[in-house]
Amino acid sequence: MYGYHGKIARINLSTGKISVEKFDEKMAKKWLGTRGFGIHVLLKEIDPKVDPLSPENKILYTTGPLTGTAAPTGGRYMVITKSPLTGYIAMANSGGFFGAELKLAGWDMLIVEGKAEKPVYISIRNEEIEIKDASHVWGKRVSETEKILIEEFGDKHAQVASIGPAGENLVRFAAIMNNGHRAAGRGGIGAVMGSKNLKAIIVRGRGRVELADRQKFISVVKEKTNKLKNDPVAGGGLPKYGTAVLVNIINQNGLYPTRNFRSGVFEYAEEQSGEAMAAKYLKRNKPCYACPIGCGRVNRVGVLEETEGPEYESTWALGANLGINDLASIIEANHLIDDLGMDTISTGGTLATAMELYDVGLLKQEDLGDAPPFRWGNTEVLHYYIEKIAYRQGFGDKLAEGGYRLAKMYGGEEYFMGVKKQELPAYDPRGAEGHGLGYATDNRGGDHIKAYMISPEILGYPVKMDPHDISDEKVKMLIAFQDLTAVIDAAGLCLFTTFGLVGDDYRDLLNAALGWDLTTEDYMKIGERIWNAERLFNLKAGLNPREEDTLPKRLTEEPMPEGPNKGHVVRLKEMLPRYYELRGWNADGTIPKEKLKELELDEYL
């Protein structure tokens, strides 16, 4: 078998037992990698109704067949577990260098189960795996944790994935961080590590990935890398301005969510745009493993000689969504959130919920005591509450529960802008209705990454679609995006390659590496299988499609008040039945047996 080692390490933290398991090509061809492997194991091994923060939940660190190869952006890994934020599946992807190192150490996947009695970390040196005491790094922030563990390990090329204080304190949107600022960010997976007393995984791998035809693979890699380098976005806009180049674009198009999605136009967007960041703070760009794009930012601001980010999403979550106009504070807050180990989108979304609750009078100053008021635009909120959340101090303890639970505590559920209890990202779907359908049907809740419909609806790739068209064409495009994204994730590549590559390019890379002769349609079928399997897990976990495949009322009932999308809502009610039908699902959003059979999923019933 090429592209895989066929090796899984099962690490039980309750018993300390470490065992090696094998898998064969049948499993590889069925699931491809990362998300595919992950959902297969979750469906087989855990009760979907399990408490996500209990020892019975499992957490999987997975790679894809192209992870650790020379394929462009082939350094990704994914963490799959049951989310303490949504109660459904979490699958969070990260770049940097950890994923490739894990693969080069000889592992396709780690399955971590149980709960350690005391804080521990897992140390991996090629095939050698040990569980070690982590009491000396428990309580430490991400940057310090990485530094100490790498020193102790005695090899500066070792890579660390760890949690900060937020994960330890079971913040429901805690992230897993690697290389300082790269996050497997969403769904609160850092809290799952925390609940297992697992502080970090450190890995050093000196092996390689066997390929079917190395010569051929290298020539395909060259061709695809050139394609990316010559692409005006992947080879131009992204390295030059980073993802924050979107700030002005999305704002000018009138869907830049402002003050908790009250509007889609932010009056200060220009001052926190990618252009402004590049002019004022940028030192250089920074690529992940084997990446010819290099969208990462290294910035200098205030006392921070060097920090990375913020990305478009984080800039928005800590800026426009709170009405804050202070780019330096946004960059500093982003740095702090990374170091404490949290998801920037959910942190910002939760603070925005608090601001609106305060604005409408449901959250009162007396609830906060001497702490800063949650007034729109109050930068003090960033400086004060972020640390309080990570340590669950004072009002931070309530914020640490996330926007949904916070809004519920104060009787203002309609002010939570999220789906399936997860905070929405930086696009108001009243200006891109297909993207709204994507939010409503995403297996991990409020999220933009698993089907980036902004690409066709706003940016014009692979074709330009009218953002207010809700025909079957649009719904089919969303389904294709969901399935293709699952394939790219499972392969171990970065989604930003889609700005320069299409389905056939991924097929070429995979076939050359693996020695397979699958068609693009075959790969899309794997994507469809992954999507349906994740949905099946959610349904078994108790998902109620009628109530939860939905959007906040504001987006379906309150017309956009201003800007180019003035008067528009998301016509979700019209699109959703079409989506179910085109997916081959029942009208109530469940999956019929025949469909499960067609996708070879009936064994998981």
Partner 1 sequence: MALVKYFATLREITGKREETVRGVKNIKELMQLLINRYGDKFAKELRDRAMILVNGKNILHIRDMDTEIEEEDVVSIFPPAGGG
Sort 571 into a burial class: Cβ within 10 Å, 0-12 / 13-18 / 19+. Answer: middle
Smallest gap from Cβ 294 to ligand SF4, in A, equals 5
Q: Is 271 in the site for partner 1 (CB under 8 A)?
A: no
CB closer to ligand SF4, 13 vs 288: 288
Q: Is 496 in the site for partner 1 (CB under 8 A)?
A: yes
Q: Is 480 in the site for partner 1 (CB under 8 A)?
A: no
Under a CB-based contact definition with an 8 Å cutoff, are residues 589 and 545 in contact? yes
Site for ligand SF4, residues 93 to 152, rule: CB under 6 A: 95
CB closer to ligand SF4, 95 vs 257: 95
Spell out the alpha helix ranges (H) of 154-273.
165-168, 189-195, 214-230, 238-241, 246-252
Span of 66-74, 81-89, 309-317, 578-586 interacting with partner 1 by CB under 8 A: 309-317
Q: What strands lie across the sheet with 77-82, from one edge to the other?
A: 18-22, 7-12, 109-113, 59-63, 77-82, 89-94
CB closer to ligand SF4, 288 vs 526: 288
Partner in contact with 291, chosen from ligand SF4, partner 1, none, beta carbon below 5 to 8 Å by kind: ligand SF4
Q: Is 294 in the site for ligand SF4 (CB under 6 A)?
A: yes
Alpha-carbon distance of 60 to 10, in angstroms, equals 9
| Helix 503-514, helix 472-491: angle, nearest 10 | 30
Q: Which 8-state DSSP code applies to residue 372?
A: P
Smallest gap from Cβ 493 to ligand SF4, in A, equals 8
x/- track of binding to ligand SF4 for residues 494-513 (CB under 6 A): x-x-----------------
CB closer to ligand SF4, 236 vs 294: 294
Partner in contact with 232, chosen from ligand SF4, partner 1, none, beta carbon below 5 to 8 Å by kind: partner 1
Alpha-carbon distance of 378 to 385, in angstroms, equals 12
Site for partner 1, residues 553 to 582, rule: CB under 8 A: 563-565
Alpha-carbon distance of 421 to 416, in angstroms, equals 8
Span of 36-44, 101-109, 289-297, 409-417 interacting with ligand SF4 by CB under 6 A: 289-297
Cα separations (Å) of 380 from 166, 262, 263, 320, 441?
20, 21, 23, 15, 35
Alpha-carbon distance of 54 to 196, in angstroms, equals 8
Q: Is 236 in the site for ligand SF4 (CB under 6 A)?
A: no
**Residue 424's closest CA among 349, 338, 333, 495?**
349
**Of positions 17, 464, 476, 597, contacts partner 1 by CB under 8 A:** 464
Buried b (16+ CB within 10 A) or exposed e, 263-297: bbbbebbeebbbebbbeebbeebbbbbbbbbbbbb
Under a CB-based contact definition with an 8 Å cutoff, are residues 439 and 424 in contact? yes
Q: Could you tell me how many residues of this chain bind partner 1 (CB under 8 A)?
A: 41
Q: Is 242 in the site for partner 1 (CB under 8 A)?
A: yes
**Of positions 291, 454, 524, 569, contacts ligand SF4 by CB under 6 A:** 291
Partner in contact with 294, chosen from partner 1, ligand SF4, none, beta carbon below 5 to 8 Å by kind: ligand SF4
CB closer to ligand SF4, 72 vs 527: 72
Under a CB-based contact definition with an 8 Å cutoff, are residues 271 and 438 in contact? no
**Of positions 122, 129, 234, 389, contacts partner 1 by CB under 8 A:** 234
Q: Is 288 in the site for ligand SF4 (CB under 6 A)?
A: yes
Q: Is 449 in the site for partner 1 (CB under 8 A)?
A: yes
Under a CB-based contact definition with an 8 Å cutoff, are residues 425 and 446 in contact? yes
Cα separations (Å) of 305 from 276, 283, 298, 300, 335?
18, 10, 10, 5, 12
Smallest gap from Cβ 478 to ligand SF4, in A, equals 22
Q: Is 187 in the site for ligand SF4 (CB under 6 A)?
A: no
Torsion over CA: 432, 435, 440, 444 (sign)? negative
Alpha-carbon distance of 445 to 88, in angstroms, equals 8
Span of 51-59, 285-293, 443-451, 563-571 interacting with ligand SF4 by CB under 6 A: 285-293
Under a CB-based contact definition with an 8 Å cutoff, are residues 418 and 356 in contact? no
Counting every residue written for the chain, the total comes to: 605
Partner in contact with 259, chosen from partner 1, ligand SF4, none, beta carbon below 5 to 8 Å by kind: none
Q: Is 460 in the site for partner 1 (CB under 8 A)?
A: yes
Alpha-carbon distance of 455 to 276, in angstroms, equals 23
CB closer to partner 1, 170 vs 432: 432
Span of 180-188, 202-210, 448-456, 514-522 interacting with partner 1 by CB under 8 A: 448-456
Q: Is 254 in the site for partner 1 (CB under 8 A)?
A: yes
The number of CA neighbours under 13 Å toward the Cβ of 356 is 25
Under a CB-based contact definition with an 8 Å cutoff, are residues 347 and 317 in contact? yes
Smallest gap from Cβ 565 to partner 1, in A, equals 8
The distance from CA 112 to its chain's CA centroid, rounded to whole angstroms, is 20
Q: Is 274 in the site for partner 1 (CB under 8 A)?
A: yes
CB closer to partner 1, 99 vs 467: 467
Q: Is 296 in the site for ligand SF4 (CB under 6 A)?
A: yes
3-state secondary structure of 377: coil
Partner in contact with 73, chosen from partner 1, ligand SF4, none, beta carbon below 5 to 8 Å by kind: ligand SF4
Contacting positions for ligand SF4 (CB under 6 A): 73, 95, 287-288, 291, 293-296, 494, 496
Contacting positions for partner 1 (CB under 8 A): 232-234, 236-238, 240-246, 248-249, 252-254, 274-275, 295, 311-313, 448-449, 452, 454-455, 458-461, 464, 466, 495-496, 499, 563-565
